[in-house]
A and B are shown apart, each in its own frame.
Chain A
Amino acid sequence: MSQQTTATRLTGLREARGWQARIDLPQITVFAAAASMIFIVALLLIFIAWQGIQLFVKDGVPVGQILSATWQPDAQNGPTNFGLLPFIAGTVFVTAGALIISTPLSVGLALFLSEVAPKWARAIVQPALEIFVGIPSVVWGWLGITILVPFLAHTFHGQGAISLPVIGQVASVPGFLTGFSWLAGSLVLSIMILPTITSVSYDAFRAVPQEIRTGSLALGTTRWQTIRHILVPSALSGVLTGVVLGMTRAAGEALAVQMVIGNSPTLPASLTQPVTTLTSQITLDMGNTVFGEPWQDALWTMSLVLLIISISSVVLVRVINKRRMAS
């Protein structure tokens, strides 16, 4: 029965030789589906770049102005000044904070999963990580608002000791007034990027051949010596890739950060104070501005900055991986 159908199909195939032989329709279709992504990236770049330069082209804002620190977008409150530095600095610092918290934890977790954990422990932790990835960012933000922010506000209220001067005056600033702060943003992000860094680092550790481990252990090293002197150096570029991917995710995360960060358009001065990021400001202001006015054009410029950050990080990952292939 099945032979017959195959035979019929093959006959049909022979008859169809003609235009089908020359134009491979299936191949064209699947190619179009895959290549659509190139098209999407091109459109994305063109449209965001076009909107992003309107601030300079149409509104005549000098390019240098976006590097100033004053954000005064509302023409009704006097002369405007579109300084994007607070947002760029906020994104950089909040992301850096998240990486500093998350990287040791994630790499430790990856090492635990790949080197230490017995099978049963891995069978519990890995699905747990997948659930972490799945939890939507609004839920993380909500947890931030309802648990983390009140915790920070109550526990450390008014304690100036933990202030960390970064830019400008080296002065002690008050502790958490409200809990909405740089630290809250970094903490929420650090949990959100933990699965990303962990899974990429885990793959990198797994990719180190087993012989190298056994070889090292046979020389009498302890497991920790093997991890420190053999595994971590060999998997370093993979771990670095994970960190860059985590960084990209942290810099681009919008809602969860916006919900806990306080959204104050000033340069980040202390871990305990409200700051703002590119994504938060876009989220907040996009709905309240009119299409074509300079204020909204400045938001498009911010999204162009975000796009440049994310595309460069893709290039960075490629460079890291190419170096790994070469060495």
Chain B
Amino acid sequence: MTANAGPTVGRPNGPHPSLRRKTSRGTILADRAATVVLWGTGVFVLALLGSILVHFALAAWGVVSPSFVLTDPSDSALGGIMPVLWNSIYMLVLTMLIAVPVGLLGGIYMSEYAGENALTNAIRFAEEAISSVPSIVVGLFGLIIFVDDLHMGFTALGGALALTLFNLPLMTRLSEQALRAVPQDERSASLALGATKWQTIRHVVVPLAIPGLVTGVILTAGRVFGEAAVLLFTSGIGTPPHYNFGNFDLLSQASPWSPFRPATTLSVYIYKLQSEGLGAYVHQIVDGSAAILISMVLIFNLGARFIGRLLTRRLTAA
């Protein structure tokens, strides 16, 4: 009876027929080939990144120098990128001043207060929706709101606000993750000592989450620093004037400290130069600027790792 029952799946008296014979040569070859191909993808990506880094290191050779970083652009010579680099840093600081507090507070809500309800779901949907909106559309939104409707014109402030709303979801999510990583016991212990929920958050949860929060801030900063599409129509695209750093009049269009002036950043400047394509030195200037942008990306990434690890050690050892 069992002899002519045929191969039935799930019977306890032996493996599935497809597995009964010894693993065939073809199967083993396929496995070997797959291993080689999968290793190949890893090697390919590393080689690609490596060659990009080497390419820019070579392209920047002879272009990037202290004077390239510290002087104004020039029509006749190589000149420098000081004003646009300054604007990039200025915009970064301005954006982070707005985005970090709001993102952290939002992260606190999502991690500590939000329940499983329709409202939380709506916030998450909004978070995902903003992250998926193309940066150029966010830039256009900034153009209507800040430049046209509020009559601000092209300003650093408008650009920073547009960058803030573009990066708010990222900052909120990274804060939420950092806060959620704090063990529940810490909260319970604090609450058991009679602290209120807010005291617990302020004095226990947020301090413990600082390594993760700092990493989140640096990663967001890296993205803000390189962004260009959001800024084309909000903070403007033009050749910056010579900046007089002694001018602290914050309402003056000429002061490099003022948030109410147009501010072309390094990334936007690269876009502008390549699209105009004029001038004998455009190629070198863009290569040098791109090399500086990539170095900043490396610094932000390594910095996030290093500082995060350092803070974790400091805070957990104390």
Within 8 A of A (CB), among B79-130: 102-110, 112-114, 119, 122-123, 125-130
The digit string for A17-37, where 1 denotes a CB below 8 A from any CB of B, is: 000000010110111111111
A134-B300, A223-B34 given; A314·B129 CB < 8 A: yes
B210 in the interface (beta carbon within 8 A): no
Min CB–CB distance A115 → chain B (angstroms): 7
A135-B294, A136-B293, A224-B34 given; A34·B172 CB < 8 A: yes
CA distance A29 to B287 in the complex (A): 45
The chain A residue sitting closest to B53, CB to CB, is A131
B46 in the interface (beta carbon within 8 A): yes
Min CB–CB distance B285 → chain A (angstroms): 11
Q: Pick 18 A–B contacts, CB within 8 A, sort by A.
A: A34-B109, A44-B130, A108-B38, A111-B38, A115-B38, A131-B297, A134-B222, A137-B229, A143-B52, A223-B31, A223-B34, A225-B31, A255-B228, A279-B134, A283-B136, A286-B140, A311-B133, A313-B132
A48 in complex: contacting residue of B114, B119, B140, B168, CB < 8 Å: B140
The digit string for A162-200, where 1 denotes a CB below 8 A from any CB of B, is: 000000000000000000000000000001001000000
The chain B residue sitting closest to A7, CB to CB, is B194
**Size category, A interface:** 35 or more
B126 in complex: contacting residue of A33, A38, A111, A145, CB < 8 Å: A38
B153 in the interface (beta carbon within 8 A): no
Within 8 A of A (CB), among B194-216: 194-199, 201
Asked if A254 contacts B136 (CB within 8 A), the reply is yes
- By DSSP majority rule, is chain B's interface helix, strand, loop, or mixed? helix
- Of B4-12, B22-30, B240-248, B256-264, the one contacting chain A is B22-30
A66 in the interface (beta carbon within 8 A): no
A325 in the interface (beta carbon within 8 A): no
A300 in the interface (beta carbon within 8 A): yes
B223 in the interface (beta carbon within 8 A): yes
Contacts of A136 in B (CB 8 A): 225-228, 267, 293, 297
